[in-house]
Amino acid sequence: MENQMDKKQRKAAQWAWYFYDFGNSAYAAVVLLAVYASYFKQGVVGTAQGSALWGLSLTISMLVVAVISPFLGALADYSGKKKTFLFLMTTLSVIFTGLLFFVKKGDIFIGMLFFIIAEIGYRAGQVFYNALLIDIADDDELGKVSGNGWAFGSFGGIICLVIVLAMIQMNPGNNLIIRLSLLVTAIFYAVFTIPAFFLIKETHRPQKRDGKSLFMVALDRLKTTIRSVKNYTEFLKFMLAVLIYNDGIIAALDFAAIIGTVVFGVTSTELVIFVIIIQITNVAGAFFYGNLGEKIGYKTSLIHSLILMIITVVGMLFVPSKLGYFIVGSIAGFVMAGVQSLDRTLVSVFAPAHKNAEFYGFFSLTGHTSSIIGPGVMGLAASGLSAWVMNSLVKANLVVVENELAHTVAEQIGTRLALITVLFFLIIGLMPLLFVNEKEGRKVAKNVAAE
């Protein structure tokens, strides 16, 4: 009877964990992808400079997260209060997501500030959320539970987007409805994360700090992580590739809405539909590339998905219509899932069993670090190229500075050309990946584990 009760409690805890992902995926879908990115650029800033400021906001938030990640990891392992810190970070993100409702035209500073704080809370909360996985699943079901959470979370994003779509459809083009959708997202986010704080029990005791402060523990962990991986050549070549190509992936993801709005004139309604399609193709891509990796090798599959990603970005440079934007974007969502799922899988391939945590710690540090540069470069390129095109037209006496249509066309050209920066990161990142030997990496990991 007691064993049966334990199973029921564990299952309830797992569903609570899934629902947390269900809730916070709404933030990613609405704020990062479908609504706020475009609203900030067009509705708050209203000029080409909005792209640079959006990129700067993303860079600042990711820089903060990259710096504090080792300390958050130490807190997760040594405090014994993962749920407490998860609650604090989630509350921070929910509150400032809701405060985005008050951001109106010209409120550039608070528009950036509220988003940056919401983003930091969202990213930091994931550290503690991921750390709770060992409290709700046995070793032999970690992969299944983790995958279920990811898939269930994607549906949360889709459902919130459908709610937002219905709101926008009732009054198209109304900025009040756009702002209200951000408040609704915050409520959705909050409601579905609540079960985690009641049903998940922390079963793992905090590790001993031996009298060290959390600051020193975090530094020691960082040193240990770096020492753990420095002799694994194939893994390090792979991390170099991730460090570069992930910048392109993040930039493409974070600017998808702005590209659609500026270049193709996609409306708020169409943008939400676009992101729903991407969410669906993303799920399909994850399943497809998971199976493909098992059949032809994870590195080969990752190269395949990166090459297709490069092709889709090239396609986005030349597609002439909204339909093309939707088609290329849906393909990008499919292959992007391959990149993001396969690189995580390759980490486990290259990691000796007893060093799995250290390798994933280094992978997390690499991922946070690589997310800093891409969005900033993309934003600066979009605004800089737009200004360059406009200045060239004026110097050639083709238009006058006051010509609004000329400014619009210049911004469209500049934003589209800025995609070249994404291509640069993807192509350069692909180069070291070609020299990674998956078989050798597997061999080293097995030999070290055996020793």
Note the pLDDT tens digit of each residue in 129-168: 877 887 887 766 765 777 677 778 888 889 999 999 999 8
Report the alpha-carbon distance of residue 108 to residue 54 in Å, rounded.
10
Report the alpha-carbon distance of residue 70 to residue 62 in Å, rounded.
14
Report the alpha-carbon distance of residue 423 to residue 264 in Å, rounded.
20
Residue range 410-414: mean pLDDT, rounded: 90
Answer positive or negative: Cα dihedral of 360, 86, 66, 422: positive
Report the alpha-carbon distance of residue 153 to residue 126 in Å, rounded.
13
CB 360 within 8 A of CB 351: yes
Answer positive or negative: Cα dihedral of 107, 111, 114, 117: negative
Alpha carbon 445 to chain centroid, angstroms: 29
Residue 173: pLDDT over 80: no
CATH class of 226-451: mainly alpha
Report the alpha-carbon distance of residue 411 to residue 386 in Å, rounded.
5
Where does 132-255 have alpha helices with state H?
A: 133-136, 142-170, 175-199, 214-229, 233-254
Q: Report the share of the chain in percent with pLDDT over 90.
A: 37
Q: Provide the pLDDT confidence category of residue 2 given band limits of 50, 70 and 90.
A: very low
Residue range 192-202: mean pLDDT, rounded: 91
CB 425 within 8 A of CB 251: yes
Cα dist from 135 to 51, 142, 250, 276, 342, whole Å = 41, 10, 30, 32, 25
Residue 186: pLDDT over 80: yes
| pLDDT at residue 354, rounded to an integer | 62
| pLDDT at residue 435, rounded to an integer | 92
Answer positive or negative: Cα dihedral of 317, 323, 329, 330: negative
| pLDDT at residue 3, rounded to an integer | 61
| pLDDT at residue 1, rounded to an integer | 42
- Superfamily of segment(s) 7-201: MFS general substrate transporter like domains (1.20.1250.20)
Q: Where are the domains of the chain?
A: 7-201, 226-451
| pLDDT at residue 111, rounded to an integer | 96
Residue 216: pLDDT over 90: no
Report the alpha-carbon distance of residue 31 to residue 38 in Å, rounded.
9
Residue range 238-248: mean pLDDT, rounded: 90
Note the pLDDT tens digit of each residue in 90-105: 999 999 999 999 999 9
